[in-house]
Amino acid sequence: MIYNEKYQIKFYKNSANGENPVLAYLEKQDLKTRNKINKYINFLSEHSGYLDEPYSKHIKGKIRELRVDFFNNHHRIFYFSFFNKKIILLSAFAKQSDKTPQKEIKKAIVRYLDVINNPQLYE
């Protein structure tokens, strides 16, 4: 993966088990899908962590949603921009319905607060 040096892409790392949820999600995808998602992540980095709809959407507070639609699959990655020009990717999931599931939003909020309180929780 090649990311812009101006805004670095970082991945949330679970403090309990060391898992990296976004990377784990990406690894489960086929090569074409993974390449498409990585293209959007690079695009996000090149635009300083801010994209307008339809590429990104505000969720809550500082948390935004990167929206990757590929054929009939709708991939979502929650992220936020952090100090020192970093974008922290918090979670990823396949969206199955029109409305973003509250459990996914809550998970992103918990991870966001985790990073704010423990800045070492991203790589």
Positions in the chain short of pLDDT 50: 1, 3-4
Residue 98 confidence (pLDDT):
84
pTM: 0.89
Q: Do the domain assignments include residue 3?
A: no
Range of the domain at 103: 8-117
Residues 20 and 14: beta-carbon distance below 8 Å: yes
Residue 48 confidence (pLDDT):
86
Q: Do the domain assignments include residue 34?
A: yes
Residue 109 confidence (pLDDT):
96
Residue 5 confidence (pLDDT):
55
Size of the chain, expressed as the number of residues it contains: 123
Which DSSP string corresponds to 33-92? HHHHHHHHHHHHHHTTT---TTTEEEEETTEEEEEEEETTEEEEEEEEEETTTEEEEEEE
What's the total number of domains in the chain?
Answer: 1
Q: Do the domain assignments include residue 1?
A: no
Residue 36 confidence (pLDDT):
95
Q: Do the domain assignments include residue 24?
A: yes
Say which CATH number the domain at 68 has. Answer: 3.30.2310
Residue 15 confidence (pLDDT):
73
